[in-house]
Amino acid sequence: MPHRHLIAGNWKMNGVKASLAVAEAIAAQSRSHSARVALFPPATLLPLMADVLKGTDIILGGQDCHHADSGAYTGDISAAMLKDAGASMVILGHSERRHGHLEPCALVARKVQAALRAGLEPIICIGETLDQRQGGLTIPVLSRQLADSLPDELADRPFQVSYEPVWAIGTGLIASDAQILEAFALIRRYLDQRFGAHVAPHLLYGGSVKASNAGQVLALEGVSGALVGGASLTVEDFMPIIAAADIAPV
Ligand code: PEP
């Protein structure tokens, strides 16, 4: 198992140059905490944030990438461009891409392959919708997303998986301990069977993580990090989540 929690802040479509001060303060204040911290700003801020974070332990990542290495894809960003801009990780298969941009698992898998070609470490997101949960489909949905979004190339490359119930993202609702434990047991079993027990990525939980619930979520068996959206946008909201990892066992 990885020996430190990974606390990842996904800024989504938020942040302008003035927000670099937030990243700078997070980097300074994270030094006294045990977690690995990663920030995923909008692509426009990546090179500037890379400068701000130079010499710190903060990991920088992109929020998505194209499946091709280059070409006529207006408005898209390749994995190599993210790498060139200072990123070492990339979030793929986020529900806002799967649902907002109708990205199927097969496309997520191609993006993961592109990320690996560029030397980026992917965080692959999976999660069920409320309808799917209420219809008793959570386990088959998560199983299909794992099988179809994770390419074979991951067998010998570092990667992370984030379980993010779609109904918990940005809603203030958080999955129960039992729901999280069930999903994580499934993910762990799947990874063991497909890649072997030696493949031990961080398994993150995402969905309305905040200061008041981070300690409880991070202490759950098998949870080795959190993907945080709204509460990663300010120092005041994000630092208590980073600090919560100090007392949670991995
Ligand atoms: C996310 O963006 O992955 C997320 C979990 O958002 P929030 O923390 O705002 O629910």
Instruction: Please tell me if the CB atom of residue 227 comes closer than 6 angstroms to any atom of ligand 1.
Output: yes
Instruction: Please tell me if the CB atom of residue 207 comes closer than 6 angstroms to any atom of ligand 1.
Output: yes
pLDDT over 90, % of the chain = 94
User: Up-side HSE of residue 226: CA atoms within 13 Å toward CB?
Assistant: 33
140 C-beta neighbours (distance < 10 Å), count: 12
- pLDDT surpassing 50 at residue 199: yes
Which residues, at least 6 apart from 55, have a Cβ–Cβ distance to it below 8 Å? Answer: none
Helices 46-53 and 20-30: crossing angle in degrees, nearest 10, is: 30
Average pLDDT for 96-103: 95
Instruction: Please tell me if the CB atom of residue 230 comes closer than 6 angstroms to any atom of ligand 1.
Output: yes
pLDDT at 112: 98
Q: What angle do CA 119, 125, 131 make, to 5 degrees?
A: 160
192 sits in which H/E element: helix 177-195
Average pLDDT for 71-82: 98
Query: Quick one: which atom of ligand 1 is closest to the CA of 91?
Result: 3
Cβ(36)–Cβ(7) under 8 Å? yes
pLDDT at 187: 96
pLDDT at 248: 73
Instruction: Please tell me if the CB atom of residue 206 comes closer than 6 angstroms to any atom of ligand 1.
Output: yes
Q: Best mutation site among 208, 233, 241 for ligand 1, i.e. most ligand atoms within 8 A of its Cβ?
A: 208
21 sits in which H/E element: helix 20-30
pLDDT interval class at 3 (50, 70, 90): low
What single-letter amino acid sits at 18? A
pLDDT at 6: 97
- pLDDT surpassing 50 at residue 87: yes
Separation of alpha carbons 3 and 122, rounded Å? 19
Q: Can you give the pTM of this predicted structure?
A: 0.96
Pick the residue whose CA is nearest to atom 7 on ligand 1.
229
Q: What is the DSSP string of 54-97?
A: TTSS-EEEES---SSSSSS-TT---HHHHHHTT-SEEEES-HHH
- pLDDT surpassing 70 at residue 193: yes
pLDDT digits (tens, 9 = 90+) for 23-64: 999 999 999 999 999 999 999 999 999 999 999 999 999 999
Q: What is the DSSP string of 92-111?
A: ES-HHHHTTS---HHHHHHH
pLDDT at 197: 86
- pLDDT surpassing 90 at residue 188: yes
225 sits in which H/E element: strand 225-228
Average pLDDT for 76-104: 97
Which burial class, exposed, middle or buried, applies to 179 when counting CB atoms under 10 A from its CB (0-12, 13-18, 19+)? Answer: middle
Q: Best mutation site among 10, 91, 95 for ligand 1, i.e. most ligand atoms within 8 A of its Cβ?
A: 10
Instruction: Please tell me if the CB atom of residue 169 comes closer than 6 angstroms to any atom of ligand 1.
Output: yes
Pick the residue whose CA is nearest to atom 6 on ligand 1.
229
**Residues with catalytic roles:** 94, 164
- pLDDT surpassing 70 at residue 2: no
**What pairs with residue 226 in β-bridges?**
7, 205
pLDDT interval class at 1 (50, 70, 90): very low
Average pLDDT for 105-112: 98
123 sits in which H/E element: strand 121-126
How far out from the chain centre does Cα 220 lie? 18
What tokens does 17 get? 């140059």
The residue among 209 and 199 whose pLDDT is bigger is: 209
224 in helix, strand or coil? coil
Separation of alpha carbons 210 and 239, rounded Å? 10
Cβ(116)–Cβ(154) under 8 Å? yes
Average pLDDT for 221-237: 97
